[in-house]
Structure 1
Amino acid sequence: MKAEIDMNKRFTTFLLAAAWILVLSGGCQQKPARVYRVAYMSPNSASMMENTNQAADSGSVEAVEYPVETAEASNTANAGGGETAASPAPAAEVTNAVYVPTAEYLTVADVQAMGPASQEYHVDAGDVLQLKIDQLLQLDREEVVAAEVDRLGQIYLPLLNHVAVAGLTCEQIRNELVLRLGKDYIREPKVDVSIKEYGSKKVMVMGMVRQPGAVALETDNATLLDVITKAGGITAGAGVDVEILRGAYDPAKEKDLPGGSAGGPSAAFGPATKRELVPVARLLAEDGGTVNPIIYPGDIVNVPLDGNGYIYLSGEVKQPGAKPFRRTLNLLQAMSCAGGPTRNAAEKKCKIIRRTADGGEQVLVVNLEDIKKGKEQNIVLAQNDTIVVPGDPVKIFLNGVNDLFRRGVFAGVRMEYDAAQDMGIPSDGGYGGGY
């Protein structure tokens, strides 16, 4: 009995000394989490983060910023003859950020609520009209005039000077010209009005289509399938979804940037009011479940490449590394793919790192515990996102001491068992037989 008491005292002293050595040696200090860095890829159907300050200023939770390179960034990168590129912007840490849901899949009901596509065309700035007017300049001659609608929504005609036509159809313009010419200049005027060049209602089609670029609508709006058809159709290698960015394209600004085009930096791209996804299979369905939404002037249609890509998990997760990214993967699903957090994880300080178009990084700090409880919204991830789960120093220390204690207890049980054998005390032949 005395030998057993002495042995327990020695073990307790050993345990305390080991814990103290562990603290002094820094063995419980948090190691920096490994971050898998990847090259920036062009945005596709994945969701984008919104800057907290922008969300606070606008007061809106639906605005989505489409990350495209601006003219200023392009000029900075090409400064000095193009020999030196602009340094990437430092990571901006965002705390208590309001996450903006950036994508939603359209349903048949959503499309039905939009109503049918327009069959009319209302003229506006940028259109070119073709006017055929008898006796405009000569009594025995029909004059054919090409008149462009200016920024004020007017055209210029001999005799009539400036005529406001913005917002009118060709038939309404014809009636207006007949009325004004017949009143003061021509007896029973004959007038024909048609559109020579459509230019006021444009959408941008990007990605895996045969003819990417700006598409001029020939009606006030058009269906998604009609727009893709005008762009030459979808090519091989396209993804499973078509992305629609509402109101993110302003062709008037594109003129301010020489050489601006769909494939490069352009001032014509801006924040979208909404982001929608349409599965290609539903767009082409013939079973009554077709999802063919209306596309309006200023929308962007993006057909992404069929590249699911990866997300990257590091830090205190059970299975860190690259995980396949498929469609709308959220944070909790990604954590499940990595086996979940370890017992040392600081779940309240989980970070999502996302590349920005200017080469910098955005960091969103989220609380995994609150997301699991439904107190915070589950984050929808984007392709190439990096998730870092840091360690909690307190948990690391306590779990380390606990592990050390367990190993010590196990060793003590073995020592007691061996002592019993030496003393000739009968045993059941297994560890811990003395208890």
Structure 2
Amino acid sequence: MSLLVKLKLGILICILALFAQSFAQEKPEVIKKVNFGYSKNPPARTQKNPKEKKSGSEKKSKKTEKNSKQVAKSKTSKEPGKNGKLESGETPGSTVVGKSGNGKAKIEPATTDAALISAEETGEMATIAKKTREIAKKASNDSLPLTEVYKVGIDDVLFISLQNKGSGTSRYYTVLNDGTIDYPLAGELVSVVGLTTDEIEDLLRSKVKLYENPEITVKVREYASHKIMVLGLVEKSGEKYLRREAMPLYVIRAEAIVKPDATQVVLRKTGAEEATYELDDSKTGEILIQTGDIVEFIKGQAANSAIKVTGFYYIGEMVRKFGRKDFYEGLTLTQAILESGGLRNSRTKKVIIRRKNEKGLLESETYKLREIKNGKIPDPLLMVGDTIESAN
């Protein structure tokens, strides 16, 4: 045979071999049986690879190991969701215990530390917090300068408001002569003299038992306890009321409207010697004026003439320092009362001045102090030998 013929036979044999091999690997067609709708054909079973078959004991052990891993993971899991995101129904601190039939995570509700704290411990913590706030507030008030603090005194009028639901009561209360207010919800008279409004609020909250957490606010509506006297060359003389424990002199000067011809101010403080200051000195305006002070604006020459005593006058027991007093020209009734320490009783409303006439007989004149202070009548000038007494 020639070489070409042999080559053709070889190619033909290879093609037949390949065709036979592919035919042998084709799967036999599964013939479905039809029963005309009386029953459904069972699913055709396909034979699995023998290598994938495992023994029953091996399957059981693998399943047990998988379940134990899921249980351990559910017990130690404390982080919410996957990748830090919460699943539906999951809260911070909740635990995922598995998955339900629809594939969603089963979640146990979280237990917070607050739920484990007893009511007694909660009350104790609230008490400690309250005391801490009170101490901090008191320390803050103590550190404030006198020009920023006001402590309630006798005759002040307080506006006290209770804003708890169902109450809404607001009333005015005057501080009585014994330093107390009659606040009904407190169940007793409450001493408030010497306290700030913040301290009074805390005091009333501790005494009111009708409401669990009483919401009380206290404000000063009328300042009547911190009195000073302004005299001399001013347009608005008389009693003034401080709204702080102390006020700088420049504030008093502005409110009293000092006249242009005043060049000096005489300051009389309780228990201290009289002092004179020049108004054109910048430091004079920084002097602190406190309760009970007497401030008189004068000319320089008037200050020198005030020292010259020309006689005496007499004042009765209505003042703190009664008896014979030095008289000098220009002395008025109000000045005489203040130089004698002021009235002993704020209820003194009328004063009698007795003076000898040309025949040596006493003549009496009655004056209403309130009218003098309000500028309705002039402050009467005294004369040598006058006698001043209460008309009440």
**Which TM-score bucket, shorter chain as reference?**
0.3 to 0.5
Between Structure 1 and Structure 2, whose CA radius of gyration is higher?
2
Higher relative contact order (CA 8 A, sep 6+): 1
Larger helix fraction of residues: 2
TM-score if structure 1 supplies the norm length?
0.37
TM-score if structure 2 supplies the norm length?
0.41
